[in-house]
Amino acid sequence: MSADLQRFSGAKVLVTGGLGFIGSHLAKRLVELGADVTIVDSLIPEYGGNLFNVRDIADRVRINLSDIRDPWSIRQLVRGQDFLFNLAGQVSHVDSMEDPQTDLEINVKAQVDLLEACRAGNPDIRIVYAASRQQYGRPQFLPVTEDHPLVPVDVNGINLIAGESYHLLYHRVHGIRATSLRLTNTYGPHLLMKHGRQGFITVFIRRALEGQDLQVFGDGSQLRDFTYVDDCVEAFLAVAVHDEAYGRAFNVGGQEPVSLLEVARLCQELAGAGGKATTAPWPPERERIDIGSIYVSHERLTRLTGWEPKVSLREGLARTFDFYRAHGEHYWT
Amino acid sequence: MSADLQRFSGAKVLVTGGLGFIGSHLAKRLVELGADVTIVDSLIPEYGGNLFNVRDIADRVRINLSDIRDPWSIRQLVRGQDFLFNLAGQVSHVDSMEDPQTDLEINVKAQVDLLEACRAGNPDIRIVYAASRQQYGRPQFLPVTEDHPLVPVDVNGINLIAGESYHLLYHRVHGIRATSLRLTNTYGPHLLMKHGRQGFITVFIRRALEGQDLQVFGDGSQLRDFTYVDDCVEAFLAVAVHDEAYGRAFNVGGQEPVSLLEVARLCQELAGAGGKATTAPWPPERERIDIGSIYVSHERLTRLTGWEPKVSLREGLARTFDFYRAHGEHYWT
């Protein structure tokens, strides 16, 4: 264990969205580091929370079921915590377009209440907020750095910008020690699989395992970057213990960009279930919100903390397919 | 009347915030152009709505008292309108820091409902949204162009970015013809005067008229730009009838930047009530959210529409002082 991460030993840590994909891996890692972990999760059926995600640590964490839109429980829960990893959110871009108000309530209104709760009840807390490269919209240059203009192309992007801005503003004005991580496509075990509205990678994994073909729109050459969930967790820990991270936003990227068609082929190869990777013309309603190739630079994060993504896409996907082969039944419905 | 502005003759026009400062001038101008004007205003006591603002046109407009946070009345009111000038908003930066949730409800949540109402009930409407140069935060270069990064330094700035982004997104994705104007310090008759929380210029005008001294923080050399309200109104009209304005944001600026100390001196000169213009050290809580010199470029707007600010600061302020000398009693409390 690095000296920095020893700070989590005995620390009180709150993880919102802690039954979800990234939150559950983070909670497990924190338990291993000796932290006293409280998970907050709403277990909204359509979202990513799943009790199976904490099967290994259920007796070593406190699980508090509540919705971050409930300011009363949040006000109590932030008290006395040393760290807050703030991962609860509405993360489906598709859903955000169909129901912008729910996205706004969770990703902005609840965030303001949470920050106000910290300001009033625990101003010394250290917060790491889960934001998204979605905030950049259509890239004006590649790789996308943190200084790239924020011109979101969907409701979720608008609201994440506001949620992040509130965190950084509360640092600047009220001294709350908050950092934002802009995550790219993050993947691995514990991804929600019961529907495909939280990102194409879940659709790829599930369909490949089922032996179905994978369809990529256009010619499939659009580049994306991918972060394996264990690497993502290390980024959260690294910024949480770094005093120069407060008040700033950092991209969390992957090893190198890969085309969507390549990803689809890799999934089919690793799944070994007989499906093919194909291309198809753009449906007009999808093309309108497509952003072409996009991948981020994480140089700012590496320079500050030394963090680097360690798990290759092939290795990460292999682990992911192994997980769903063994435990898929807990995720399909 | 220019050919373009003839399009308002007989047009059905909704003005939210139409009893307020800019909205009331816009409503009057639209009535003069022959438009069929409906004003929506909540008359929230702390905000800028004032029935005296429409004294000249009260019998030629329909006044509908309702709050834009009430989605039911808004849903009805947008139906059948050709134009929507969307000026209702919480505009006090100070209030936004003390009560972020109210600012969020009015400046974001209600805007989403309004856009959804247009999408469902009047997708052909043309919308001009009143945004603010507040969205830029501390300037990274001067003059500030529309491509300047948006790094807001207060809650109001965060929420205006979201409100504007929703308008532009609804154009891009749903084809709603919406334009955003980022206003700088706008001044003139009808400014709210009952408190000083909506901008320093109101404080300057009122105190100067009362013969009190005007205090500028720091050395008073911070530059600002100012738009006289009649010029601002013409900018709203110009973009509303320009098809290439939809989906875009434009700065609305002034003739040339002026230092705060100069503005204070000009106010004292025009008021002629014996007060002085002085400087004072920064109070720490104000300095934290100060942004130094800021003024915008309106070149993008001028290039598209030919709009230029026509009224000098001296002339505009002289008209403003004349107005409050004659009608101040309707504004002081």
> What pLDDT, on the 0 to 100 scale, is given for residue B1?
57
The pLDDT mean for chain A works out to 95
A288: nearest CA in chain B? B173
Q: What is the pLDDT of residues A99-113, one digit of tens each?
A: 999 999 999 999 999
What ipTM was estimated for this complex?
0.90
What CATH number corresponds to the domain at position A176? 3.40.50.720
Q: What is the amino acid identity at position A304?
A: L
- A interface mutation test: which of B103, B104, B111, B164 has the most A CBs within 10 A? B104
Structure pTM? 0.93
The model's confidence at residue A94, banded by pLDDT at 50, 70 and 90, is: confident
Residue B176 and residue A243: Cα distance in Å, rounded? Answer: 45
The model's confidence at residue A199, banded by pLDDT at 50, 70 and 90, is: confident
Q: Does the pLDDT at position B289 exceed 90?
A: no
| Structural domain includes residue B212 | no
| Structural domain includes residue A146 | yes
- Interface A-B: count of C-beta contacts within 8 A: 68
B3, burial (CB in 10 Å: exposed 0-12, middle 13-18, buried 19+): exposed
> What pLDDT, on the 0 to 100 scale, is given for residue A206?
95
Q: For strand A223-224 and strand A258-259, is the pairing parallel, antiparallel, or unpaired? A: antiparallel
| Structural domain includes residue A138 | yes
A315, burial (CB in 10 Å: exposed 0-12, middle 13-18, buried 19+): exposed
| Structural domain includes residue A324 | no
- Which residues of chain B approach chain A closer than 8 Å at the C-beta? 97, 100-101, 104, 108-109, 112-113, 116, 147, 149-150, 152-155, 158-159, 161-162, 165-166, 169, 172-173, 288-289
| Structural domain includes residue B139 | yes
Domain count of the fold of chain B: 1
Domain holding B112, by residue range, is: 4-191+226-254+296-310
Q: What is the pLDDT of residues A286-307, one digit of tens each?
A: 787 678 899 999 999 999 999 9
> What pLDDT, on the 0 to 100 scale, is given for residue B291?
80
Least confident of A66-75, B143-152, B193-202: B193-202
Say yes or no for a CB contact (<8 Å) between A152 and B173.
no
Opening angle at CA B118, ends B116 and B119, nearest 5: 60
> What pLDDT, on the 0 to 100 scale, is given for residue A308?
97
Min Cα separation B325/chain A (Å)? 39
Least confident of A2-6, A214-218, B101-105: A2-6
Min Cα separation B230/chain A (Å)? 31
- Of the candidates A149, A153, A162, the beta carbon closest to that of B162 is on A162
Say yes or no for a CB contact (<8 Å) between B172 and A97.
no
Say yes or no for a CB contact (<8 Å) between A173 and B147.
no
Beta-bridge partner residues of B216: B279
| Structural domain includes residue B322 | no
Min Cα separation B151/chain A (Å)? 8
Residue B207 and residue B202: Cα distance in Å, rounded? Answer: 8
> What pLDDT, on the 0 to 100 scale, is given for residue B198?
81
Q: Please report residues of A whose CB lies closer than 8 A to that of B162.
A: 108, 158-159, 161-162
Among left, alpha and beta (phi > 0; psi -120 to 50; other), residue B17 is left
Min Cα separation B309/chain A (Å)? 29
- Of the candidates B108, B158, B173, the beta carbon closest to that of A289 is on B173
Residue spans of alpha helices (H) in A125-259: 155-174, 200-209, 229-240
DSSP state for residue B60 in the 8-state scheme: G
| Structural domain includes residue A244 | yes
B102: nearest CA in chain A? A109
Say yes or no for a CB contact (<8 Å) between B162 and A166.
no
Q: Does the pLDDT at position A1 exceed 70?
A: no
Q: What is the pLDDT of residues B81-118, one digit of tens each?
A: 999 999 999 988 889 999 999 999 999 999 999 999 99
Q: Does the pLDDT at position A3 exceed 80?
A: no
The model's confidence at residue A18, banded by pLDDT at 50, 70 and 90, is: very high
| Structural domain includes residue B168 | yes
Min Cα separation B286/chain A (Å)? 10
Say yes or no for a CB contact (<8 Å) between A108 and B113.
no
Min Cα separation A219/chain B (Å)? 23
Who wins on pLDDT, A135 or B290?
Answer: A135
